[in-house]
């Protein structure tokens, strides 16, 4: 079993790298952002609730997010392990994840932070907004708010795992393959 959290600001490349890790280690990838976007596309009540917060660059309330994540994990309890992408983003979410994992007799093995500075984030997300239909990617004010929310509410989660010796940092700058090879090194160091 291997359970990883890919961590970092919006636009740091978590989704891209998680997809590569998923293939390499046969893990189940859970992106709460993708789950919300699919709820919105399907016009569900949950999607309507989430959209209100996402369009402003705010976090969806913890109880909504945790409930959705719990259902997805329980539906895939046979997985060889999980890669969490975009979760946890607050301390109550980190506590809930610990709780869910221990209920499955599992634990988080590592949190890996992809470090990318704000100006690069804004540049990347505006570019992504042109090629995708992510509604929160087109507006610079919303992007900067997402970064502020990340710094105030989410970044402190790094310490939550660091205190337990489970937090790692790598640079999120460089080519996709360069970053992936740093990630592989970090993950393989856990497995020896």
Q: Is 58 known to sit in a ligand binding site?
A: yes
Which residue in 56, 70, 72, 128 is the catalytic one? Answer: 128
Q: How far apart are the first and last CA of the chain?
A: 14
Rounded Cα–Cα distance for residues 4 and 112 (Å) = 8
Task: Locate all alpha helices (DSSP H) within the chain, ordered by sequence.
Answer: 14-25, 32-41, 45-54, 62-75, 91-103, 118-131, 140-149, 157-162, 176-190
| Nearest residue (beta carbon) to ligand AMP | 33
Please state the closest distance from residue 188 (CB atom) to ligand AMP, in A. Answer: 26
Angle between helices 91-103 and 62-75 (to 10 degrees): 20
**Closer CB to ligand AMP, 45 or 78, in the complex:** 45
Please state the closest distance from residue 13 (CB atom) to ligand AMP, in A. Answer: 11
70 is catalytic: no
164 is catalytic: no
**Closer CB to ligand AMP, 99 or 190, in the complex:** 99
Please state the closest distance from residue 36 (CB atom) to ligand AMP, in A. Answer: 5
What token pair was written down for 60?
Answer: 């969806």
- Residue whose token pair is 């392990």: 81
Per-residue DSSP letters for 109-146? -EEEEEE--HHHHHHHHHHHHHHS--GGGS-HHHHHHH
**Closer CB to ligand AMP, 11 or 165, in the complex:** 11
Q: Is 15 known to sit in a ligand binding site?
A: yes
**Closer CB to ligand AMP, 9 or 179, in the complex:** 9
List of residues contacting ligand AMP (CB under 6 A): 10, 32-33, 36, 53-54, 57-60, 65, 86-87, 89, 93, 136, 146
Asked whether the CA dihedral 38, 169, 119, 157 is positive or negative, the reply is positive
124 is catalytic: no
Please state the closest distance from residue 114 (CB atom) to ligand AMP, in A. Answer: 13
Binding-site residue ranges:
11-16, 32, 37, 58-60, 86-89, 93, 128, 134, 146, 174
Q: Active-site positions?
A: 14, 89, 128, 134, 146
């Amino acid at each position: 079993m291997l359970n990883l959290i890919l961590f970092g600001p919006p636009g740091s490349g978590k989704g891209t790298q998680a997809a590569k890790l998923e293939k390499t280690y046969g893990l189940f990838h859970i992106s709460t952002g993708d789950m919300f976007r699919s709820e919105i596309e399907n016009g569900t009540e949950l999607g309507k609730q989430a959209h209100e917060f996402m369009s402003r660059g705010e976090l969806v309330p913890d109880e909504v997010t945790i409930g959705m994540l719990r259902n997805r994990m329980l539906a895939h309890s046979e997985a060889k392990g999980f890669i969490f992408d975009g979760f946890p983003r607050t301390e109550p979410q980190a506590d809930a994840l610990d709780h869910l994992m221990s209920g499955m007799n599992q634990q988080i093995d590592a949190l890996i932070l992809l470090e990318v500075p704000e100006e690069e984030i804004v540049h990347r997300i505006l570019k992504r907004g042109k090629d995708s239909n992510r509604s929160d990617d087109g507006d610079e004010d919303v992007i900067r708010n997402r970064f502020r929310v990340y710094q105030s509410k989410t970044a402190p989660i790094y310490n939550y795992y660091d205190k337990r010796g489970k937090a790692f940092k790598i640079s999120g700058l460089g080519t996709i393959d360069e970053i992936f090879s740093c990630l592989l090194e970090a993950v393989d160091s856990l497995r020896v």
